[in-house]
Structure 1
Amino acid sequence: MNPRLQRLFPILEWAPRYTRGEAINDLFAAMIVTIMLVPQSLAYAMLAGLPPVVGLYASILPLVAYAIFGTSRTLAVGPVAVVSLMTAAALAPIAAQGTAAYLAAAVTLAFLSGLILVAMAVLRLGFLANFLSHPVISGFITASGILIAASQLKHILGIRAEGDTLPRIVQGILGQITATNIFTLLIGVASVALLFWVRKQLKPRLIGLGLKPRLADLLAKAGPLAAIVASILLVVGFGLDRQGVKIVGEIPAGLPPFALPVFDADLWVQLLPAALLISLVGFVESVSVAQTLAAKRRQRIEANQELVGLGTSNIAAALSGGYPVTGGFARSVVNFDAGAQTPLAGAITAIGILAATLFLTPLFRFLPQAVLAATIIVAVLSLVDLKAIRRTWAYSKADFAAMATTILLVLFVGVEAGIVAGVAVSLLLFLWRTSTPHMAVVGQVPGTEHFRNVDRHAVVTDPAILSLRVDESLYFANARYLEDRIYAEVAARPALRHVILMCPAVNLIDASALESLEAIADRLRAAGVGFHLSEVKGPVMDALKRSDFFGHFKGQVFLSQFEAVRALLAETSGGAVVSTGRAAAPATECASGADATARQEPDKPVTAALASSPR
């Protein structure tokens, strides 16, 4: 089969070899994920400000699209909490919740997100997700989890409270706290307690009673359904909807509708920033989960093809009346643990969701909104990782600054502002760190060919030679710092005759840094000091050769720092014998001007030469 066709349609790779054993495992995993996904889909649609049935629509065709185009065997695509929150934040300025315009904007947002992801795949721009650092993503998810949980408290209390930031949510709740409906509160608190207990305790207890792990897992995952059934029976049996308990209401049954985005230029411009952020965040979350799970089975994820899989999934969501989707962490882990072997498990899950949409939606009419809120709260609180904040603080204050900025702005300003600020702070901190790169004066470890920092190791140096190691690529932001540091070191050494810049960590020298190197070489030569480079990487050397650098560079480029010091010591000591104690060998392979030359040196230990040189 054509390899290019297989890369575009990963289903062609595994489908021809599909086995009966894989089918059994996929069927079982699909059963568990379907049980989990039905209440979650209803709940997350409510979180996005959409009718609950829209969550079911967004859990059908996207799963089929990902099964065709995705590369992960176990990633479960559908509505997720964070993307639902971002959707609500993006649509709030455009239309009022519950209106046709709001739903049309959600469909358009999904379509636009899908186009962005596919375009990124065509242009192979998956690397853009790297700008979302782990501390920023971790802080964003933690803050979003807190914000989502807080926003659902109004449903637990049965009150009306608006707000899209933590202070406004708290203010709204406190302002309406006296209107709390006691029946709603009891249902909500009981549901939260039940779901937490089911998540943590039910499976091990069932196994302890003698049930097989798979059956115990299936029953444990059915916990949310049990809460749904019990609460519906309570509402119907005691007429709690007439006592002020807010219910989901009529949910239309039937196939997902065919929908088209609104082709309005002004609307697209309004939605574009949010669509871009949703695409990037969703892609990072999906790929992180997919790669983690794939590594456990020694499978491989193709990042750019994942863009295609997620992009087509979002387009499919839009065409079926849904809203933006991505790979969910919790349901993907459940899918993996349940034994899913191929993406067909997702397609089977889609069939289960479709069956629920066709036949079960009338049963959800009397479902209390408090139970859906409890489902959301239990799900998102598992995403809150407060320990990560402490770990990041202990390890890197700069990364902590980016994480803290993200968390605070998400909670107190807004979702989009938080993630944009987090990325901006990360990039600014990166520029700040690399603008003052770590540079170390190094000396030779006695008896070896290794050179280490003079402040950390017992090393041997010569006052006539300065060995300076730079631990960062050289570019416009640190070019002036490099010049200043070298001039300062030279000024402090009256006996200096040679400067060697070690470049083992230099992966790039841009035009600004190249001019700085030329200026350093000219200024040192005017002062009677030679300027040389050592351990320059091949691609960097190639770039230097493409320039006119070697047309006027009078120093040498040495293959290793050891050979640089050996050669220059021979010059400064009047042709002293320098070697490692082995048979004579070429002392250095260096470049002088544009040409490489080699010299043969006599035999004498390096440490002895250093010891006999002027101190």
Structure 2
Amino acid sequence: MARLARLAPGVPALLRYRFAADFRHDLVAGISVAAVALPVAVAYAELAGFDPVVGLYSCILPLVAYALFGTSRQLMVNPDAATCAMIAAAITPLAAGDPALYGSLAILLTFFTGLFCIAASFLRLGALADFLSKPILVGFLNGVAISILLGQIGKLFGFAIESGRIIPRLLEFIAKLPQTHGPTLAVGLGSFAVLLLARRFLPRWPAALITLVVAGIAVAVLKLDGQGVAVLGAVPAGLPLPRWPTVSLEHLPALLASAAGLALVLFSSGVLTARSFAAKNRYEIDVDREFAAFGAANIAAALSQGFAVTGAASRTAMADSAGGRTQVTGLVAAATIATVLLFLTGPLRYVPIAALGVVLVFAAFSLFDIRALRDIWKIDRREVGLSVLTMLGVVAVGAINAILIAVALALVRFVKLTARPRDEVLGQVDGLPGFHSVERHPGARTFSGLALYRFDGPITFFNAAYFKQRALAVADAAGPELQWFVIDAIPISHIDVTGLYVLRDLREALEERGITLILAGRKTELLNWLQEIGLYRSEHKEHIFPTLRQALKAYRRETRPADAPPDEE
């Protein structure tokens, strides 16, 4: 069982399933998830450039795969607006208008994405979930929201927008406004009204499903399809049959590059959702196993002729609010969608494209997170600039290329924070225990002849010279009476070979000025490390103290006149 839990964490949970206690809750939640997933999957298939039925294919096996391999009890794995936009951006140029090639490229892209996720799990790269910072992820999703909005708005007015970039799309939309088709615009505005009213007065009902049902009934009764209103048309019944895609080898490099970016984004976005609901329900998820679970779900999507999937926030929220307790909720949702595919595809033919556009426009509004930008602004305005820069990258160069921009920005941010960490001189503040930054506390008292210095980061090859420069600058500012230079070792998480040489050079430079270098904190750890690498000397023990306070006491004992009273501290 332990071996099985390592491979497929969901299986032991299913074997221990409390049918009597949990099934009725999971049954209701699963049907509710399916009610939301059905219209959204059809709309997202339209967004990604597929037949509507492909969106439904992408909802069934991925839910089953995640139930077996995932570690979240609530997460629903389904098509997502951001991943659909990225899929379309990646394969549209490669397909060159060939529908069969487009489908094959999407299947291979999804399959490679799954393989990348599984490989990342074996390499224990779950920490990549933290690599795209919150501001960068918010900016990326905001850019995708703008892209979706401008990509769908033409459907509400009854004309196609063919431009591939966001600014050209906007210009084309403005130019084509005189071509607006009146009945289509009426259907679009009516769908907006129904969606708003459903969300306002029926908050527990799936508003997207209500909108598409009402719009489909209006088309069927008023025969609006005969007046030029575009509809989905016939949706083939039945479950998908596996087929191997046919793709030229020349497309593989581009597919692999896009799959790597897609894997990073869908995992980061999906794990963010999984962590949020795990925190709400007070349990933990395993991010490395989540990587494998997302990989299995995407391979399942490829095998069922679908496209890439991730943790879907709206469907996960529905599962949670409807009382779902376990991943059986996902299995019930998958069974419900499969039932619709087998027996209830007929009514889908009347759903108007304009109503699907309305659903996607609302999805775009939900992706655009103004509140997060406001919160980030209150904390750090520079991070807002990073977020806006990522958003503009999506707007300017598209979602796939924006991934490279986002990763580059994340690298620049990481290098900046690590190579130039915050440092500070410490002193004592009346009424506050411990030692505090004299910059943040202007009334802090420093110590004659002694400097307490904190460097908030590791000392490694890329910041060692900066550390030495800053430490010597603090020593110079302390004046000629400085006798002890004490470094707080607690925040220094790592010292590599370059850092060790720089510490030696700093000690020698200080000794030339008659100053003793002292380390405070991590005494046992530092002494053991020096012994392990063969550099321990007996005087090291005299220059390393367990805490800053003990270093301060030792300095006062050493410099106190012989007839002075004992130090009360």
2:509 is aligned, of 517, 523, 526, to 523
Partner of 1:24: 24
Whether 1:573 aligns to 2:536 is: no
Counterpart contact for 2:72–2:285, Cα < 8 Å? yes
Partner of 1:245: 229
- Residues 489 and 267 from structure 1, CA distance in 2 versus in 1: closer, same or farther, beyond 3 angstroms? same
- Residues 273 and 226 from structure 1, CA distance in 2 versus in 1: closer, same or farther, beyond 3 angstroms? same
Percent identity between the aligned chains?
33
Partner of 2:482: 496
Q: Deviations over 1:520-570 (max 9, x none)?
A: 011111222211111137656554443355459767111111111221222
Q: Deviations over 1:178-228 (max 9, x none)?
A: 11111001101111221122123323xxxxxxxxxxxxx2xx21x333332
Give 1:362-381 correspondences, 5 Å limit: 362-381=346-365
Partner of 2:72: 72
Whether 1:271 aligns to 2:255 is: yes
RMSD, aligned CA: 2.3
> What is the identity, as a one-letter code, of the residue corresponding to 2:505?
A
Counterpart contact for 1:158–1:184, Cα < 8 Å? yes
Partner of 2:150: 150
In structure 1, what is the Cα distance between the partners aligned to 2:192 and 2:527?
A: 62
Whether 1:294 aligns to 2:293 is: no
Structure whose alpha-carbon radius of gyration is higher: 1
SS at match of 1:532: strand
1:228 is aligned, of 212, 227, 235, to 212
- Residues 553 and 144 from structure 1, CA distance in 2 versus in 1: closer, same or farther, beyond 3 angstroms? farther
Partner of 2:495: 509
Counterpart contact for 1:536–1:559, Cα < 8 Å? yes
2:403 is aligned, of 416, 419, 439, to 419
CA shift for structure 1 position 401: 2.4
Partner of 2:434: 450
CA shift for structure 1 position 53: 0.8
- Higher helix fraction (1 or 2): 2
- Residues 40 and 462 from structure 1, CA distance in 2 versus in 1: closer, same or farther, beyond 3 angstroms? closer
Counterpart contact for 1:521–1:553, Cα < 8 Å? no
Counterpart contact for 2:121–2:292, Cα < 8 Å? yes
Partner of 1:474: 459
Partner of 1:125: 125
In structure 2, what is the Cα distance between the partners aligned to 1:447 and 1:53?
A: 68
In structure 2, what is the Cα distance between the partners aligned to 1:106 and 1:168?
A: 25
CA shift for structure 1 position 244: 1.9
In structure 1, what is the Cα distance between the partners aligned to 2:381 and 2:430?
A: 36
CA shift for structure 1 position 230: 2.9
- Residues 316 and 538 from structure 1, CA distance in 2 versus in 1: closer, same or farther, beyond 3 angstroms? farther
- Residues 488 and 84 from structure 1, CA distance in 2 versus in 1: closer, same or farther, beyond 3 angstroms? same
Counterpart contact for 1:42–1:53, Cα < 8 Å? yes
In structure 2, what is the Cα distance between the partners aligned to 1:102 and 1:84?
A: 13
Give 1:47-446 correspondences, 5 Å limit: 47-97=47-97, 99-203=99-203, 217=204, 220-221=205-206, 223-262=207-246, 265-445=249-429
In structure 2, what is the Cα distance between the partners aligned to 1:491 and 1:64?
A: 65
In structure 1, what is the Cα distance between the partners aligned to 2:152 and 2:184?
A: 13
Q: Deviations over 1:291-318 (max 9, x none)?
A: 2212222222121221222111110110
In structure 1, what is the Cα distance between the partners aligned to 2:136 and 2:476?
A: 42
In structure 1, what is the Cα distance between the partners aligned to 2:249 and 2:539?
A: 56
CA shift for structure 1 position 47: 0.3
Counterpart contact for 1:63–1:346, Cα < 8 Å? yes
- TM-score between both structures, scaled by the size of structure 2: 0.93
CA shift for structure 1 position 117: 0.9
> What is the identity, as a one-letter code, of the residue corresponding to 1:491?
D
CA shift for structure 1 position 410: 0.8
In structure 2, what is the Cα distance between the partners aligned to 1:448 and 1:187?
A: 66
Q: Deviations over 1:334-357 (max 9, x none)?
A: 011111111111111111111111
Whether 1:44 aligns to 2:75 is: no
> What is the identity, as a one-letter code, of the residue corresponding to 1:504?
I
Q: Which has the higher contact order (CA 8 A, sep 6+)?
A: 2
Partner of 1:558: 545
> What is the identity, as a one-letter code, of the residue corresponding to 2:146?
I
In structure 1, what is the Cα distance between the partners aligned to 2:563 and 2:403?
A: 61
Counterpart contact for 2:101–2:246, Cα < 8 Å? no
Structure 1 stretch displaced more, 148-157 or 385-394: 385-394
How many residues of Structure 1 are paired with residues of Structure 2 in the alignment? 565
CA shift for structure 1 position 458: 4.2
Counterpart contact for 1:452–1:459, Cα < 8 Å? yes
Unaligned runs of 5+ in 2: none
Q: Deviations over 1:432-481 (max 9, x none)?
A: 23333322222345699722233416444433222212222222332222
Counterpart contact for 1:399–1:426, Cα < 8 Å? no
- Residues 553 and 361 from structure 1, CA distance in 2 versus in 1: closer, same or farther, beyond 3 angstroms? farther
Partner of 1:7: 6
Counterpart contact for 1:403–1:422, Cα < 8 Å? no
In structure 2, what is the Cα distance between the partners aligned to 1:102 and 1:329?
A: 27
SS at match of 1:86: helix
In structure 2, what is the Cα distance between the partners aligned to 1:262 and 1:553?
A: 71
> What is the identity, as a one-letter code, of the residue corresponding to 1:464?
G
Structure 1 stretch displaced more, 413-422 or 224-233: 224-233
> What is the identity, as a one-letter code, of the residue corresponding to 1:40?
V
In structure 1, what is the Cα distance between the partners aligned to 2:146 and 2:431?
A: 58
Whether 1:464 aligns to 2:427 is: no
CA shift for structure 1 position 168: 1.5
SS at match of 1:152: helix
> What is the identity, as a one-letter code, of the residue corresponding to 2:409?
V
In structure 2, what is the Cα distance between the partners aligned to 1:41 and 1:462?
A: 67
Counterpart contact for 2:556–2:567, Cα < 8 Å? no
Counterpart contact for 1:42–1:52, Cα < 8 Å? yes
Structure 1 stretch displaced more, 351-360 or 529-538: 529-538
Partner of 1:536: 522
CA shift for structure 1 position 273: 2.1
> What is the identity, as a one-letter code, of the residue corresponding to 1:193?
A
SS at match of 2:59: coil
SS at match of 2:16: helix
SS at match of 1:533: strand
CA shift for structure 1 position 158: 0.9
- Residues 179 and 524 from structure 1, CA distance in 2 versus in 1: closer, same or farther, beyond 3 angstroms? same
Counterpart contact for 1:508–1:540, Cα < 8 Å? no
SS at match of 1:440: strand
Structure 1 stretch displaced more, 143-152 or 356-365: 356-365
Counterpart contact for 1:163–1:169, Cα < 8 Å? yes
> What is the identity, as a one-letter code, of the residue corresponding to 1:100?
A
- Residues 541 and 47 from structure 1, CA distance in 2 versus in 1: closer, same or farther, beyond 3 angstroms? farther
Q: Deviations over 1:363-401 (max 9, x none)?
A: 222321111111111223122112322332332133122
